[in-house]
Copies of this chain bind each other. A is one copy, B any other.
Amino acid sequence: MNDTLISHGTPADKARIVAYEMARNSLEGTYTHGINRFARLVRSVDSGTIVPSAEPELVASCGAMSRYEGHMGFGIINAIFAMDRAIDLASEHGIGLVSLAHSNHWLRAATYGYRALERGCAAICFTNTTNNMPAWGATDSRLGNNPFVMAFPRKNGQHMIVDSAMSQFSYGALEVARLAGKQMSVAAGFDKNGNITTDPSAVLETRRPLSAGYWKGAAMSFMIDIFSSCLSGGFPVADIAEQKEESALSQVFIAIDYRKIVGEDEADRIAERAIEYLKGSTKAEGTKEIVYPGERMMRVREENLREGIPVDERVWSEILSL
């Protein structure tokens, strides 16, 4: 992947980071935003949507906040840069916020949460997307699913992190279920009669996927779009929807060096208490285990480190042909 990126015009330092992070996304179980997405990323470089040599540029800065222009560079490169800057600001001020305009898809949202966790900071970050989800009460998609991350570190490295899009299911998940002839586990969207359904085919036909929590996820999505675009001076979903492909996204990265106001041991003890309490829940029939956010990922990572990263043969052939 590194070599392919270089042969398509990516500077070596950037190619290494993008290849590493996409491999890591698959290693940690986010296959859809890992190796599976690599061929599409290279096509975006070829089409000019991604400018492979672009560097983020400082637009404005004040105290613990900085605003950057992404110049349509790699989403991963820009977002890592932005979270690293937010962490630097947090080292100085306790908390740091960096906003980023006109960047590309950052792939796995959790990547930037882990970036902060691995430097001992908590993080909140989010991005807007193209229009892929209807407003509450609407039939056409004018909201993004706008992934949102909250991450808090633990001393033992078993970090807590939620990486959640504002739709109940992604289009990718709906398509996988449709091909397998399966129903979704819970309500997934609206059918052509305007009824809520678990049938992926019906939702793919209407293009009316359900926002997570109905009106709640729709409202959160809108506010994430407002924060992302207004804090960066970048595009809201309304403008991203007019691009040829999903690009020119707006993002916000907040890092919190909590150790400046709470002892690391003190916070760790509180987290252990919360985890122990949660995991001691009475399990419903059919539940094997109650997990905290981020726990499952650690297991997939360990399994894939031990047994190798599963990669679809067709995906790999396509990458080799690039």
Given A262-B67, A274-B236, also A267-B230 (CB < 8 A)? yes
Which B residues are in CB contact (< 8 Å) with A241? 277
What's the nearest-Cβ distance from chain B to residue A97, in Å? 5
Q: Is A283 within 8 A of B220, CB to CB?
A: no
| Cα distance, A200 to B287, chains bound together (Å) | 24
Q: Which of A256-296 contact B (CB under 8 A)?
A: 256, 258, 260-263, 266-267, 270-271, 273-274, 276-278, 280-287, 289-290, 292-293
- Closest-by-CB residue of B relative to A138 is B281
Which B residues are in CB contact (< 8 Å) with A122? 227, 230-231
| Cα distance, A60 to B266, chains bound together (Å) | 13
Q: Is A62 within 8 A of B150, CB to CB?
A: no
What's the nearest-Cβ distance from chain B to residue A281, in Å? 4
Which B residues are in CB contact (< 8 Å) with A256? 65, 97, 231
Which B residues are in CB contact (< 8 Å) with A226? 152, 160, 270-271, 274
Q: Is A261 within 8 A of B66, CB to CB?
A: yes
What's the nearest-Cβ distance from chain B to residue A25, in Å? 19
Which B residues are in CB contact (< 8 Å) with A267? 230-231, 233
Which B residues are in CB contact (< 8 Å) with A234? 270
Q: From DSSP, what is the main secondary structure of chain A's interface residues?
A: mixed
Chain A window 135-175, contacts with chain B (Cβ cutoff 8 Å), 1 for yes, 0 for no:
11111101100000011100000001110100010000000
What's the nearest-Cβ distance from chain B to residue A186, in Å? 5
- Closest-by-CB residue of B relative to A134 is B281
| Cα distance, A48 to B213, chains bound together (Å) | 37
Other-chain contact of A236, B67, B96, B134, B270 (Cβ < 8 Å)? B270
- Closest-by-CB residue of B relative to A268 is B230
| Cα distance, A224 to B223, chains bound together (Å) | 17
Q: Is B97 within 8 A of A95, CB to CB?
A: yes
What's the nearest-Cβ distance from chain B to residue A150, in Å? 4
Q: Is B232 within 8 A of A142, CB to CB?
A: no
Which B residues are in CB contact (< 8 Å) with A135? 278, 281, 290
Let me know if A120 is at the binding interface, CB within 8 A.
no
| Cα distance, A162 to B218, chains bound together (Å) | 10
- Closest-by-CB residue of B relative to A190 is B284
- Closest-by-CB residue of B relative to A258 is B231
Which B residues are in CB contact (< 8 Å) with A190? 284
Given A233-B267, A290-B137, also A152-B284 (CB < 8 A)? no
| Cα distance, A120 to B92, chains bound together (Å) | 25
- Closest-by-CB residue of B relative to A91 is B63
Which B residues are in CB contact (< 8 Å) with A66? 261
Which B residues are in CB contact (< 8 Å) with A262? 60, 67, 99, 230-233
Interface pairs (14), CB distance under 8 Å: A63-B92, A63-B94, A66-B261, A137-B290, A138-B282, A138-B283, A152-B226, A164-B213, A186-B196, A212-B213, A225-B274, A226-B270, A236-B277, A237-B277
What 12 additional pairs, Cβ within 8 angstroms, besides A67-B262, A152-B227, A164-B219?
Answer: A60-B262, A99-B261, A134-B281, A134-B284, A137-B290, A138-B281, A152-B226, A161-B223, A229-B274, A230-B267, A233-B266, A254-B254
